[in-house]
Amino acid sequence: MTTARLLADLAEVVGPAHVLTDPAVTSAYCTDWTGRWRGVAQAVVRPADTAQTAEVVRRCAAAGVAICPQGGNTGLVGGGVPPADGRPTIVLSMTRLTGVDDVDVAARAVGVGAGVTIGDVQRAAVAAGLDFGVDLASRDSATVGGAIATNAGGIHFVRYGGMRAQLLGIEAVLTSGEVLRRWRPLRKDNVGYDLPGLLAGSEGTLAVITGALLRLVPQTRRGAVAVVAVQDPARGLAVIDAVERAGLTLHAAELMTEAGLDLVHRHGQRRALPAGTPFAVLIEVAGADAGDLAAVLAEASVDDAAIDDSPAADLWALRERHTESIARDSTTPVVKLDLTLPAGALGAFVATVERLAAAAGVRPIMFGHLADGNVHVNLLDVDPAHAEDVTDAVLREVAAVGGSISAEHGVGRAKAPWLGLGRDAVDVAAMRAIKRALDPAGLLNPGVLGL
Ligand code: MLT
Ligand code: ZN
């Protein structure tokens, strides 16, 4: 079947207005947020619901056309954009699946479409007197489907876990066009393989997620935030430990460096600590106020801290403005490496990356989710011709000290060549077997994950 014939068929399924082919319109769907990953697609197809999604998948599979599922296109590893190798591909944009069911307050659960933003899940939960356990800076663009596909983590991972931990159920279209639906708001349901958990982190390579039944959590009505100056990450971890040992509930614990704080300051954010602070840790606690947190920090001999009752938007802005400030400041697409380090290796790793970056003539800005050992290494001004070399050097260092090459952003296209640094041969073979079983023709997000 010709591509033109397929696109005409798909227009019958979703309506002609939702099969986009004008390059001026489709280029935004084919380029990732960082501008580093660009692909090619014959069309962007925008189904309205699960039935249309299933029909689109069935027809593409019959025609042998690859499918790149996409949510808010806020991913940072090139996993949401089509391949650049010219194979016939459509981008399957899921942003029209925006249904939000009534919140089931007794079961603390809500069913939503894949195109609902994380911010809209939070608002639905709060309106029902509850909250959603995942939060991230891109909350108003990132969609539930994309966040599940990447198993996104975010700032409250330390308390509630990532997207996988929020899944009570899932709805997804298989390459056969059949709809897999597990949709019961049960906390314990141990019948066979954890398929929702498998689809979390599958990066669009196993099925197209159309909806999810999400766990909700009680609201945190009282909280406090401190930005604490520390000499090194180890001292930051010691302060976090002191806060938890004092009985406060840790809601977030984020690492920043002098270079990152200087950068967000240059991009307009007021300082909370004096310039020259080598590291800073943002700590948020739940169920306590600024006075309670100040007392615990004094007990832990912290001498420089800015403290406020939650939501403390100005303190959080110091952390949340890192990503956009980095993107605006770099002269080339930022090389973003999201990593986990064993707690004891963090300080030495930061120093090693600074050395590697100096040797490569690039600017490093590091920040991340300290309590999870999750560091976001951002390399600015990297000549695109050297992006792979510098990535290789950093990822090999991570593997050498027992860390993970992907903490919460996924593997995508960015890290696919290094999959073997993160998983051994038996593990990769088992993943390949799963991929073959669910997508025998290799049509779902080819090139992503490197399987
Ligand atoms: C964050 O923690 O802000 C996100 O993972 C985004 C990023 O790494 O830039
Ligand atoms: Zn992050």
Out of 323, 328, 330, give the residue to mutate to test ligand 1, the one with the largest number of ligand atoms within 8 Å of its CB.
323
The reply to whether 16 and 59 lie within a common domain is yes
Q: Is the CB–ligand 1 distance for residue 323 below 6 Å? A: yes
Which tens digit of pLDDT belongs to each residue from 51-83?
999 999 999 999 999 999 999 999 999 999 999
385 within some domain: yes
Determine whether the shortest distance from the Cβ of 53 to ligand 1 is under 6 A: no
User: What pLDDT is stored for residue 66 in this prediction?
Assistant: 98
- Same domain as 295, residue 355: no
Looking at the structure, tell me whether residues 167 and 227 fall in a common domain: no
**Is 321 a pocket residue for ligand 1 (Cβ < 6 Å)?**
no
Average pLDDT rounded to a whole number, residues 400-422? 97
Q: Which of 167, 202, 218 is the last residue before a domain boundary?
A: 218
Could you give the CA distance from residue 64 to residue 425 in angstroms, rounded to a whole number?
A: 29
Residue 1 confidence (pLDDT): 77
Where does a domain end: 188, 218, 248? 218
- 195 part of a folded domain: yes
137 C-beta closer than 6 A to ligand 1:
yes
Domain final residue, candidates 189, 218, 247: 218
pLDDT band at 3 (very low <50, low <70, confident <90, very high): confident
User: Separation of 333 CA from ligand 1 center, angstroms?
Assistant: 15
Q: Which atom of ligand 1 is nearest to the CA of 152?
A: 5
Q: Nearest C-alpha to atom 7 of ligand 1 is from which residue?
A: 323
Q: What is the CATH number of the domain that holds 230?
A: 3.30.70.2190
Answer yes or no: is 79 within a domain.
Answer: yes
| Count: domains in the chain | 4
Q: What pLDDT, in 10s, does the model give residues 301-353?
A: 998 999 999 999 999 999 999 999 999 999 999 999 999 999 999 999 999 99
Distance from residue 386's CA to the centre of ligand 1 (Å): 23
Residues 35 and 83 in one domain: yes
Residues 122, 214: one domain? yes
Q: What is the pLDDT of residues 194-235, one digit of tens each?
A: 999 999 999 999 999 999 999 999 998 899 999 999 999 999
Percent with pLDDT over 70 in the chain: 100
Residue 376, ligand 1, Cβ within 6 A: yes
pLDDT, position 221:
85
CATH number of the CATH domain containing 62: 3.30.43.10
**Residue 287 sits in which domain range?**
223-321
Query: Which position has the token pair 């609902």?
Result: 116
pLDDT computed for residue 306 by the predictor? 98
Question: Which residue minimizes the CA distance to atom 8 of ligand 1?
Answer: 376
Cα(402) to ligand 1 centroid in Å equals: 22
Same domain, 126 and 210: yes
211 in a domain, yes or no? yes
Query: Tell me, what CATH number does 362's domain have?
Result: 3.30.70.2740
